[in-house]
């Protein structure tokens, strides 16, 4: 009995192979095309080939748009956090350490570092 793509991929992962989501879908599409060709059970019509190819292109676009949305969301969070930090810094000016204003400033500073790190994880410099 022929092995499924998931079975073969599991054995390849065990050997250390790793692909991103889009690349793995390219491999899966190639697998499906090869399986169809080798088995000769079904010959894919031109329309089906077009639709499968278009579906694959749309899936890649969706992954790209999701990443773009994540970057925009992180940039918006960064900007909001920066505004909070500026306000907290102004309020904490001339306040003693341990005061509520100083603590709010420290918390805003931590949030700013986290927002910066999230941007860096997405490949964007703050």
- The verdict on residue 5 lying in a domain is no
Domain that holds residue 114: 21-32+43-121
**More reliable by pLDDT, 19 or 119:** 119
pTM of full prediction above 0.75? no
- The verdict on residue 26 lying in a domain is yes
> Where residue 7 falls among pLDDT bands split at 50, 70, 90?
confident
Place of tokens 């920066």: 82
Average pLDDT, the chain: 85
> Where residue 99 falls among pLDDT bands split at 50, 70, 90?
very high
Look at the chain and report how many structural domains it folds into. Answer: 1
- Lowest mean pLDDT of 20-24, 27-31, 71-75, 82-86, name the range: 20-24
CA torsion through residues 112, 115, 71, 84, sign? negative
- The verdict on residue 66 lying in a domain is yes
- The verdict on residue 72 lying in a domain is yes
**pLDDT for res 100:** 92
**pLDDT for res 40:** 55
Q: CB within 8 A of 85, min separation 6: which ones?
A: 105, 108, 109, 111, 112
Does 1 score more than 70 pLDDT?
Answer: no
**pLDDT for res 116:** 93
- The verdict on residue 12 lying in a domain is no
- The verdict on residue 62 lying in a domain is yes
Does 70 score more than 60 pLDDT?
Answer: yes
> Where residue 71 falls among pLDDT bands split at 50, 70, 90?
very high
- The verdict on residue 86 lying in a domain is yes
- The verdict on residue 101 lying in a domain is yes
**pLDDT for res 13:** 84
Structure tokens, 67: 């990443």
């Amino acid at each position: 009995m022929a092995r499924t793509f998931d079975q073969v991929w599991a054995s390849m992962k065990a050997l250390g192979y790793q692909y991103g989501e889009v690349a793995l879908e390219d491999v899966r599409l190639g697998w499906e095309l090869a399986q169809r060709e080798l088995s000769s059970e079904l010959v894919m019509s031109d329309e089906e080939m077009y639709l499968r190819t278009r579906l694959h292109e749309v899936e890649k676009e969706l992954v790209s748009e999701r990443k773009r949305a994540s970057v925009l969301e992180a940039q918006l969070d960064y900007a909001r956090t920066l505004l909070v930090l500026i306000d907290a810094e102004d309020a904490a000016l001339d306040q003693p350490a341990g005061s509520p204003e100083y603590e709010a400033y420290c918390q805003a500073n931590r949030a700013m570092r986290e927002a910066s790190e999230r941007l860096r994880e997405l490949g964007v410099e703050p």
